[in-house]
Amino acid sequence: MSHCDVGYHRRMARWQPDARGRLEAAAFELFRERGFEQTTVADIAARAGLDKRTFYRLFGDKREALFSGSGHLEEVLVRAVTETDAGPFEAVVAAFRRVAEEIFADRLELVRARQTIIESSPELQERELRKTGSLVAAVTAALRARGLDETTATLATESGATVFRVAYARWVAPDSDAPLSDLIADVAAKLRAITSAPTP
């Protein structure tokens, strides 16, 4: 199909009105099939039955099509740390457990496939790190809004994010079967043990 086939556009538009979602799905499929490097924005737009201009209206670059979920993730985390009275580290760990249950639990195969794509490209790894950075900033700001000082808020968020990353890496590993939420609780307990040793 050509992107000049307006009839096709109209039909696609009726079936899947969400251009963003169509482009994301097309990008994900193509990155899996051909690899990230071998896929162009024109390929993604064509697969979605749209044009490059529409892609660039919605995404800053090719990488961005793989990271649209990060906004929702951030919302859930921020709400969770805002709505609790738990101590800062507990609050962040609990927020990541909520994300594990609400967002990740039923999507292990998709998450594994996405992880494989990200690991194939240093550019995607860089973008992922930047997304994590902005998510950490949002959670830190939410803790600050609860009246915590900057250092405490940052340490709690960064430590919670570390716990999440370690648990997540175990969860996506090929031989894993424990639920992500349980892995987060285990890893958080381990971090407590490591940092509780008395200062010499």
> Which residues lie near a copy of itself (CB under 8 A)?
86-90, 122, 125-127, 129-130, 133, 151-152, 154-156, 158-159, 162-163, 165-166, 170, 187-192, 194-197, 199-200
Sign of CA pseudo-dihedral 25, 30, 33, 36? negative
| Nearer residue to a copy of itself within complex by CB, 6 or 197 | 197
| Nearer residue to a copy of itself within complex by CB, 26 or 163 | 163
Question: Least CB distance from residue 151 to a copy of itself, whole Å?
Answer: 6
| Nearer residue to a copy of itself within complex by CB, 13 or 84 | 84
Question: Least CB distance from residue 37 to a copy of itself, whole Å?
Answer: 16
* C-alpha–C-alpha distance, residues 13 and 10, integer Å: 5
Q: Max alpha carbon distance in the chain (Å)?
A: 74
The answer to whether 47 and 30 have CB atoms below 8 angstroms apart is: yes
**Residue keyed to tokens 């929702």:** 72
* C-alpha–C-alpha distance, residues 87 and 108, integer Å: 30
Question: Least CB distance from residue 115 to a copy of itself, whole Å?
Answer: 15
Question: Least CB distance from residue 50 to a copy of itself, whole Å?
Answer: 26
* C-alpha–C-alpha distance, residues 105 and 31, integer Å: 23
